[in-house]
Amino acid sequence: MIKIPKRQLFKDYFLLFSIFLVCLPIFSIYFLKFNPKLSFLYYLSLFFLVLILCYLIAEENRRERLIFLQKQDTQERVNLITASMNEEKKALAALEKKIASYSSLKGVTEELTKSLTLEETANTLSFLTCEIIGEHDKVCILYLFEATTGELGIIATNKGKERDTIKSKKGDIFDGWVIKKLQPLLVEDVKRDFRFDLERVEAEELRPIRSLISVPLIVGKQFLGILRVDSEKEFSFTNDDLRLLSTLADLGAIAIENALLYQKAKELSIRDGLTGFYLRRYLNERLEEEIKRSLRKGSAFSVLMVDIDKFKDYNDKFGHMAGDIVLKTISKMLYMHFDQPGNILSRYGGEEFLVVLTECHKDKAQLLAENLRKAVKEKEITLRKRHTHVAVSIGIASFPEDSKVMEDLIRCADSALYTAKKSGRDKVCIWQ
């Protein structure tokens, strides 16, 4: 309720009363002593004068009250306009931020198209998401879905502009919700969201999380993974942030699918489709690298040339499908015996395999090759409902003992293999 000031009104009436008290005795004495006949007129004039003065003072105060009310009304309007302008400024700032964020999507597309490998694509998407949505206290996580295991796996993380390490590698209750629903998720406050069991959340989490946004990565009907941003503070994200993350996820899903296709195409170009081993062209590149590495370190490695004995007879007797079964069986046994970090397994020819055993001298390589030969000979293979056995011959050469040149090293191993074949097959021979 607006209060009208009374101080000015009090001063006006006090002044009028003071004048009246001062003038009344003086004029009264004058008229009573010198002109008593006019005293009546004097008092009557004085009375009307007082009335006029009272009216003028009242009118003046009414006008002051009206002006004061107008000022109050104007001030209220100013306050409303100021509040409205502040709201509009906030809305404009939010709009400018949104425009800037969406304008940066063009840059995101350009950066993602530059990335070919899956690792580059994942790191780029994670970094750009944190740069657009996240701040220094927000963590961006990119999960990929493994169809073979049915589990998530972290491929990239960022906190602000820095890489971050997350201990929970397979996702939590929130990621499980996104997988189940295949819908975007916004959690403003973990402790107030009825959809999730707080005790389970606290038991699962290895780092404090109060709010998050999460979006599934989907291309067509294929679920690729999850793009997520979380924060230690509650109410850190809005629906606008979730919509922006969904757009980033759409762009990222396409880029990840392209990276997976590129990776598959690259694998097909360097790996044999039947055995999964490296092809001869890629083997030469890897072998050159191994020679350079061994020269730097002063270490040795060995090369095994493995050939399936009388392989043509199996093809002629049982057909090419049976030959493929034999190749797959031998490749699996090679993998079981020699799948160690640094070793290289390749399909060198039709029924020939070349194995590079790093940090392995000739004597040890001969022992490992003999173990493989015995295992292959004992292995029973079923071809067209008939049980049979196969045998392999193996030639061995070592770096740098036999040669320091790739072509010569392979030639030495091949020559040792020829010796094993010539001396009766099913043997292991070393280059002398």
Q: Where are the domains of the chain?
A: 112-269, 280-430
Q: What is the pLDDT of residues 351-362, one digit of tens each?
A: 999 999 999 999
State residue 178's pLDDT score: 92
Q: Transcribe 170-232 into DSSP letters.
A: T--HHHHHHHHH-S-EEES-GGG-TTS-HHHHHHH-SS---EEEEEEEEETTEEEEEEEEEES
Residue 166 pLDDT grade (very low, low, confident, very high; cuts 50, 70, 90):
low
State residue 409's pLDDT score: 93
State residue 411's pLDDT score: 94
Count of positions (residues) in the chain: 432
Sheet of 352-358, strand order: 344-347, 352-358, 301-308, 392-399, 428-430
Give the whole-angstrom CA distance, residue 285 versus residue 299.
Answer: 19
State residue 321's pLDDT score: 84
User: Cα 346 vs. chain centroid, distance in angstroms?
Assistant: 36
Average pLDDT over residues 390-415: 93
Give the whole-angstrom CA distance, residue 133 versus residue 160.
Answer: 9
State residue 116's pLDDT score: 82
Given a cut of 80, is residue 96 above it in pLDDT? no
Q: For the chain, what percent of residues have pLDDT higher than 70?
A: 82
State residue 30's pLDDT score: 66
Q: Do 308 and 350 touch, CB atoms closer than 8 A?
A: no
Torsion angle defined by CA atoms of residues 204, 209, 214 and 217, in that order, rounded to the nearest 10 degrees: -50
State residue 397's pLDDT score: 95
State residue 115's pLDDT score: 81
Q: Which residues lie below 8 Å from residue 243, measured CB to CB, with a gap of 6+?
A: none
Given a cut of 60, is residue 3 above it in pLDDT? no
Average pLDDT over residues 408-429: 93
Q: List the structure tokens of 222.
A: 């294929």
State residue 265's pLDDT score: 81
Give the whole-angstrom CA distance, residue 268 versus residue 259.
Answer: 14
**More reliable by pLDDT, 3 or 22:** 22
Given a cut of 90, is residue 392 above it in pLDDT? yes
Q: What is the pLDDT of residues 181-214, one digit of tens each?
A: 999 999 999 888 888 887 777 766 667 888 999 9
- Give the SS3 label for residue 160: coil
Residue 256 pLDDT grade (very low, low, confident, very high; cuts 50, 70, 90):
very high
State residue 350's pLDDT score: 84
Q: What is the pLDDT of residues 216-249, one digit of tens each?
A: 999 988 999 999 999 989 998 989 889 889 989 9
Given a cut of 70, is residue 21 above it in pLDDT? no
Q: How many CB atoms lie within 10 A of CB 361?
A: 14
Given a cut of 90, is residue 430 above it in pLDDT? yes
Of the candidates 73, 78, 88, 155, the one whose C-alpha atom is nearest the C-alpha of residue 121 is 155
State residue 344's pLDDT score: 92
- Give the SS3 label for residue 157: strand
Which secondary structure element, helix H or strand E, spans residue 139, and what is its range? Answer: strand 138-146
Average pLDDT over residues 268-278: 85
Q: Which residues lie below 8 Å from residue 160, measured CB to CB, with a gap of 6+?
A: 130, 134, 135, 136, 137, 138
Given a cut of 50, is residue 4 above it in pLDDT? no
Residues recognised as catalytic: 351
Q: Which residues lie below 8 Å from residue 109, measured CB to CB, with a gap of 6+?
A: 251
Q: What is the pLDDT of residues 106-132, one digit of tens each?
A: 777 778 888 888 889 999 898 888 888
CATH, domain range 280-430:
3.30.70.270
Look-up: residue for tokens 């996820």?
249
Give the whole-angstrom CA distance, residue 91 versus residue 377.
Answer: 78
Q: Do 388 and 307 touch, CB atoms closer than 8 A?
A: no
Residue type, 382: T
Encode 177-205: b = buried (16+ Cβ within 10 Å), e = exposed: bbbeeeebbbbbebeebeebeeeebeeeb
Fold topology of 112-269: Beta-Lactamase (3.30.450)
Mean pLDDT of the chain: 83
Q: Which residues lie below 8 Å from residue 247, measured CB to CB, with a gap of 6+?
A: 102, 105
Given a cut of 60, is residue 12 above it in pLDDT? no
Q: Do 357 and 416 touch, CB atoms closer than 8 A?
A: no
Q: What is the pLDDT of residues 32-64, one digit of tens each?
A: 666 666 666 666 776 777 777 778 778 878 888
